[in-house]
Amino acid sequence: MEFLDPDLERYVEAHTENENELLYRINRETHTEVLKPRMLSGHLQGRVLSMISHMIQPKNILEIGTYTGYSALCMAEGLQNDGKLITVDVNEELKDRLTEYFNESDFAEKIELKIGKALDIVPKLDVEWDMVFIDADKSNYQNYYDICIDKVKTGGYILVDNVLWSGKVLEKNRKKLDKDTEAMLNFNEFVHKDERVQNVLFPIRDGLMILRKK
């Protein structure tokens, strides 16, 4: 589902900071060479992630769901000089591509890629997070949130992608309530009522939930 008029969307992107050369190439190559390119954050959301990261100036970022590395590189732009971004993805087939992209960037020493199940990896990381970005399998969003929230510092942020789920959060936009849609509905309701966080849902791309830990 497209939430903006295509012409208006083009205007928005035309008046948003451009992607750098590497991000542009990742965007193009993902769409031509990788399955499910819609999973890519893309120009507008990527610049939003970069802006938020610059505002927070995080020392430690956790990303759950790397895909082709676009969002990781965007968030890394705002890291402190001694900052670190750990990104976790289950798809080992993308490891070589990711390693190449990260090594070509200015953040090769700041990004650590871990291949495996986030539910196994993240609980073992002894890190206090300033910023977390969740963009992986939707049925586990609640589980990912649960393993992160206690390790997010007070005043830290959790960002969650695809929370509008192509508009299927509204009954009129779905034929039936499938597993992932139900998981998304339950997750959105849970974090909205979670008194540990302040939340706002931005209608950016497929919906971006931003949570600040109180």
Domain boundaries defined on the chain:
6-213
pLDDT band at residue 54, thresholds of 50, 70 and 90? very high
Residue 84: per-residue pLDDT? 98
Taking the whole predicted model, whether its pTM rises above 0.85 is answered as: yes
Q: Decide: helix, strand or coil at residue 214.
A: coil
pLDDT mean over 98-112: 98
Cα 197 to Cα 30: distance, rounded to the nearest angstrom? 34
Residue 27: per-residue pLDDT? 96
Q: Nearest to residue 26, comparing CAs of 85, 136, 101?
A: 101
Percentage above 70 pLDDT, the chain = 100
Q: Which helix (H) or strand (E) holds 188?
A: helix 179-193
- Is the pLDDT reported for residue 2 higher than 90? no
Total residue count of the chain as it appears in this document: 214
201, burial (CB in 10 Å: exposed 0-12, middle 13-18, buried 19+): middle
Backbone φ, ψ for residue 160 (5° rounding): -130, 125
Percentage above 90 pLDDT, the chain = 95
Q: Which CATH number fits domain 6-213: 3.30.70.20, 3.40.50.150, 3.40.1500.10, 3.40.50.300?
A: 3.40.50.150
Residue 117: per-residue pLDDT? 98
CB 188 within 8 A of CB 209: yes
pLDDT band at residue 58, thresholds of 50, 70 and 90? very high
Task: Write down the mean pLDDT value for the chain.
Answer: 96
- Is the pLDDT reported for residue 38 higher than 90? no
Cα 99 to Cα 111: distance, rounded to the nearest angstrom? 10
Residue 47: per-residue pLDDT? 98
Which residues, 6+ apart, have CB-to-CB distance to 214 below 8 Å?
Answer: 154, 195, 196, 197, 198
Q: Are strands 197-202 and 60-64 parallel, antiparallel or unpaired?
A: unpaired
pLDDT mean over 172-195: 96
pLDDT mean over 135-158: 98
Residue at 14: amino acid letter: A
pLDDT mean over 134-160: 98
